[in-house]
């Protein structure tokens, strides 16, 4: 698969972005701060979420994958046992484990710039296991290649989900 290019920096969501994300998720997004990555089709596929939701509850998942096509393809990888295989490799490959720990630290650092959530994990099972490929791929897309090795691996396994065009358009388009 050709990997989508990373976004240069999170951008403030437009009204059209908010409409697309709502349609992608099938609900109003909670705590959305920014568009962290855009799909090659131009629509948001990863959003940056506030570490605390509007009701004050902690939400440690900084990067949230919104594209249903990408999410479905990742779900297939999860069902095929990719997470278990990756977790097993973490226990036997010290270089991979160190790179994954660095990804965990990067995730926490990015989240803590917004708000520190003391005692809360990063996301996706980091740094010791792989619990959610959706989060790892979202981190890879938002942060760019080389930051999250297992997110990069999962991303490379995905089909080009954007080839059929946008998964959702703003209401009225």
Q: What is the pLDDT of residue 169?
A: 76
- Tell me what pLDDT residue 8 has: 60
Q: What is the pLDDT of residues 4-38, one digit of tens each?
A: 655 568 899 999 999 999 999 999 999 999 999 99
Sign of CA dihedral 43, 13, 114, 75: negative
The pTM for the full model equals 0.93
Dump pLDDT digits (tens) for 45-89.
999 999 999 999 999 999 999 999 999 999 999 999 999 999 999
| 8 A C-beta contact, residue 58 and residue 120 | yes
> What tokens appear for 75 in the block?
């779900």
Per-residue pLDDT of 128-171, as tens digits, reads 999 999 999 999 999 999 999 999 999 999 999 999 888 887 77
- Dihedral sign (CA 35, 37, 43, 47): negative
Q: Which secondary structure element, helix H or strand E, spans residue 108, and what is its range?
A: helix 94-114
Q: 3-state DSSP: the chain helix, strand, coil percent, rounded to 5?
A: 45, 10, 45
Distance of alpha carbon 25 from alpha carbon 154, whole angstroms:
21
Question: Would you list the domain boundaries of the chain?
Answer: 15-157
């Amino acid at each position: 698969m050709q990997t989508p290019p990373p976004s240069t920096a999170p951008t403030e969501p437009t009204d059209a972005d908010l409409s697309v994300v709502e349609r992608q998720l099938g609900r109003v997004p909670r705590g959305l701060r920014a568009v962290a990555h855009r799909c090659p089709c131009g629509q948001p596929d990863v959003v940056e979420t506030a570490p605390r939701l509007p009701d004050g509850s902690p939400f440690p998942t900084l990067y949230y994958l919104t594209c249903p096509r990408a999410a479905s393809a990742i779900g297939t990888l999860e069902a095929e046992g990719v997470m278990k295989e990756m977790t097993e490799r973490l226990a036997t490959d010290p270089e991979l484990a160190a790179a994954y720990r660095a990804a965990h630290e990067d995730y926490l650092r990015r989240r803590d710039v917004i708000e520190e959530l003391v005692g809360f994990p990063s996301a996706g099972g980091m740094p010791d296991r792989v619990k959610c490929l959706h989060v790892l791929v979202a981190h890879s897309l938002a942060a760019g290649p080389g930051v999250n090795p297992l997110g990069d691996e999962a991303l490379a396994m995905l089909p080009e989900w954007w080839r059929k065009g946008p998964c959702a358009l703003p209401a009225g388009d």
